Amino acid sequence: MKSDVVKLHVEDLTVSFRTGQGMVRAVRGVNFDLHEGETLAIVGESGSGKSVSSRAIMGILAGNAVTDDGKIIYEGQDLTKVDEENFHEIRGSKIGMIFQDPMSSLNPIMKIGKQITEGMLLNGNRLLNKKKAMIHDQRLDHNELKRQLANTTEQYYNAIGKGAVKKAKKSSTRVYERAIETNRLHCDNDISNLHTLLKNSAVADQIETFKEEISKLKHESKNANESVKQSLKLTIQSKQAALSQYKKTVGAEEKKVYALKVAERKELLKKEDIDAKKVMFDTIEAAKAKVKNANKPQLKAEYKQEVSIITPKIKAAKKVYIEAKANANAVVNGEWETEKNRVNALIEEAKKRRDLAIQKILVEKNAYINARAKELSTHEIKWIAESQRISTLKKSIDKKDKVSLSKLAADKHNLAEAKSAFADKWNAEKDRINKLLKVAKAESSLEIFKLKEALRRFAHVTKLEARERAIQIMTEVGIKEPEKRINQYPFQFSGGMRQRIVIAIALTANPDVLICDEPTTALDVTIQAQILELINKLKSERNLSVIFITHDLGVVANMADRIAVMYAGKIVEIGSCDDIFYNPRHPYTWALLGSMPDLDSKNRLTAIPGTPPNMLFPPKGDAFAERNKYAMKIDFEQAPPMFKISDTHYAATWLLHPDAPKVDMPEVVKTRIVRMLDRTKAWTDK
């Protein structure tokens, strides 16, 4: 259940990627909050910046990525400024992620069990983790003060030296190059459009007509007799002359207009180049002037004053940090020694109990040996005498005396039975004593192993513990026979089961924020429903806060608390599930709803015309304007702000401006909303 507690706050997040063609502006000023126990769905076409935003939160952006601006606040920390050492303590353990393609997320040549337990074992040093947790705040305070000093120093040297000029040159040159490239692309596009216009003009059609007629006449002349052929030849020459004359007059006039327009566009491009260069030089000169006119003594005095304030704080924070570290080491090491001594004492007691039990059994065994030897000595005299008697009788009895021979055989059998009964009796006793000895040793070994395992688990996650935890989580995510399947490879699982494994890996560290990056991609509808149901179940049981990324509005209809619609790196509409599905206000949201299939729709789905903009050159105004049939002039000139529709609902479209003309949502979207409301009402009544 959603609460008012904000687990994650994203403010003005801006991310770009360096490429050979320039900077690609993937995310541009994204803002949202994720509340505890909430599912926030981020919806949009491929390339809208959904996954880049989530990877920025996880700190796993590509090497060519640059976080230009913004904050990602989690537990009081700005994740955009956290170093990798500290981020390692957050990623996975506090913020987990389910990736969209289980085929590429899992190692095909590593058993599933090892992939699930790997993270637990690598990050399972409990003593070290406890020490880090104890000094976490002190380390953050110390690092923050050092960052402040570094920023102050950088600002000072930029103000008095060439640092500011170099920075201005770099940034203004980048802006200039981007402007020039944009202008050239626009120029090329305009020239291409003019050329297309010329090709498709009435003049071009007339020229094509002349050519077709000449071609037809030439074909006829091939099969004609001499007199007709001569006549056709004259006609062809006449047509060719007419075509040549037409090109010289009317066609030349059209080309002249085309050439004038091209020259005009190139002249405009030249002017734009000059203007952009002037802006660049003005920026550089302004930076130089600022450095030149800077009151260096005053700046130095201010810098020294700030340093004199921050430096003692850094020293004090460092002292506190070192003391906290020493205290944490002392406390944790003390706890470890106490636990180790306690367990070792229990192990010694267990060994003593084992030795006493074994000693008692050995005493019983010695008694058994003596009793057996005593009884055997008594019986052996009788058995020897009986054996001698039988041997003597056997020699004296006539072989034809069947009765005597039969009686002698019975006596011999009875003697063998007596010996066997004696052996069975004492062998059974021997087995009983050996079994007691074996059980005593096994029970003691098991007890000692459990004590040692408990001691190891006090220090770190053991392989046995990780395996037990993996089996438990595999059961939790709905994988049957986990004890057997933990030893299998990814190729032995179906697509849906592989996705369950990826979910299990994300859950091993018990995160409280879970990012699901299109987890149902490439799965059939039935499996999609199972995965969505599983995520909802886990969210409820673990009180997770979920960011669910998808390009399909239908996928999140039954699981999202709020929906953010993204386009070209920006959130264009955000609201509750009811707001987005029953009262959409942005044309892009209308387009998404219109293109979403349902069971009742019999009409052709509405396609969104055009393609998303090239983010090497982000549009000046509303990024959706080129594809938006409701776009106004201002949409191409200025990006719209977020307009408030209700306390939960906001949209960035000029259509919500008080002075904008009233535009109703498309009829297909209205019809769909009515159907959705009717279906919801019927389900509620039922």
Contact 546, 39 (CB under 8 A): yes
Contact 444, 351 (CB under 8 A): yes
What's the predicted TM-score (pTM) here? 0.69
Task: Give 233-259 as a DSSP string.
Answer: HHHHHHHHHHHHHHIIIIIHHHHHHHH
Residue 52, CA distances (Å) to 59, 62, 145, 228 in order: 10, 9, 30, 74
Range of lowest pLDDT (42-46, 455-459, 517-521): 517-521
Residue 490: the pLDDT is 92
Per-residue pLDDT at 644 exceeds 90: yes
C-alpha 681/C-alpha 679 separation (Å) is 5
User: Concatenated DSSP letters for 146-164?
Assistant: HHHHHHHHHHHHHHHSHHH
pLDDT of residue 220: 73
Q: Is the Cα torsion angle 434, 436, 439, 441 positive or negative in sign?
A: negative
Residues 251-289 have pLDDT tens digits of 555 566 656 666 776 676 667 667 667 776 777 677 667
Residue 258 has a pLDDT of 59
For the ranges 106-115, 259-268, 295-304, which has the lowest average pLDDT? 259-268
Collapsed DSSP state (helix, strand, coil) of residue 7: strand
State the Cα–Cα distance between residues 662 and 129, nearest whole angstrom: 59
pLDDT in tens, 173-224: 666 565 566 556 555 555 555 555 555 455 556 666 767 777 777 777 777 7
The mean of the pLDDT values for the chain is: 82
pLDDT digits (tens, 9 = 90+) for 487-542: 999 999 988 889 889 989 888 888 999 999 988 876 777 888 888 888 888 888 88
| Predicted confidence (pLDDT) at residue 1 exceeds the cutoff of 70 | no
Q: What is the pLDDT of residues 56-110, one digit of tens each?
A: 999 999 989 989 889 999 988 889 888 887 788 888 889 999 887 777 788 999 9
CA–CA gap between residue 630 and residue 626 (Å, rounded): 10
- Given a cut of 90, is residue 392 above it in pLDDT? no
Report the DSSP beta bridge partners of residue 34: 8
| Residues 341-368: tens digit of each pLDDT | 999 999 999 999 999 988 888 888 888 8
> What's the pLDDT at 265?
65
Specify the higher pLDDT residue, 653 or 385: 653
Q: Please enumerate in sequence order all residues whose Cβ is within 8 A of that of 482, keeping only pairs 6 or more positions apart, or say none.
A: 470, 471, 474, 475
What DSSP line would sit under 549-577, residue for residue? Answer: EES-HHHHTTT-SEEEEEETTEEEEEEEH
Contact 515, 98 (CB under 8 A): yes
Quick one: average pLDDT of 319-331? 94
C-alpha R_g of the chain: 43
Beta carbons of 251 and 207 less than 8 angstroms apart: yes
By C-alpha distance, which of 504, 645, 648, 525 is closest to 576?
Answer: 648
pLDDT of residue 170: 64
Q: Is the pLDDT of residue 451 over 90?
A: yes
Confidence of residue 379 (pLDDT cuts 50, 70, 90): confident
Q: How many Cβ atoms from other residues are within 10 Å of residue 44's Cβ?
A: 24
pLDDT(455) > 90: yes
Give the pLDDT score at 181: 61
